[in-house]
Structure 1
């Protein structure tokens, strides 16, 4: 996103693209900061990542992929498919692991 902004004339459009790059950077850093808690099957980390990553990915799908600004087959589908797979797998893990086993630092 930042690279894209450098190819645009200085002004409001460039500033908005750079602001979008800033938001994506910190959304990604936030998701990565919470990720280690997911290995311990933390319910709090589950909800933080579910909301944060879903908001970003739904925006990408609705505003970039669906209108056709990005080719759907090669570039547009892998991200949303991985997001969907992650949502399914993390939800399955969150709701099938007994409460007594949550918080363990080692995988059995």
Structure 2
């Protein structure tokens, strides 16, 4: 599930970064938007890497990395962009819903299986 979260954010981020570079950054708002999508791409890649390298083997460090980092990103996204209405509700809540499902699955897996450091 964390891989799915990462792929969602990487796909969105890369497509928007390509559009941003193609259109240029005429002003501060465009530059900030481009920076946001670069960050989304990097965080998506981090989510995939941590999931494949650490969550797959029930690493506590991997668990806390994806739970906290991605959780903070999604909560901030909800409060800054979704709740004020800058992003549509359905599209804006897809990432947090996937994060919530991934967090539940990772918590269940961590409680049931042997844990690595």
Q: TM-score, normalised by structure 1?
A: 0.76
Structure 2: how far apart are the matches of 1:6 and 1:81?
31
Q: How many residues align?
A: 99
Q: TM-score, normalised by structure 2?
A: 0.71
Corresponding residue to 1:27 among 43, 46, 51:
43
Moved over 3 A (4+): 4-9
Q: Which has the larger radius of gyration?
A: 1
Give the number of the structure whose residues are more often helix, by fraction: 2
Mark the runs of 5 or more structure 1 residues left unpaired by the alignment.
Answer: 104-108
**Over aligned residue pairs, what C-alpha RMSD do you find?**
2.1
Greater relative contact order (Cα 8 A, min sep 6): structure 1 or 2? Answer: 2
Mark the runs of 5 or more structure 2 residues left unpaired by the alignment.
Answer: 1-15
How much does 1:8 deviate?
Answer: 7.4
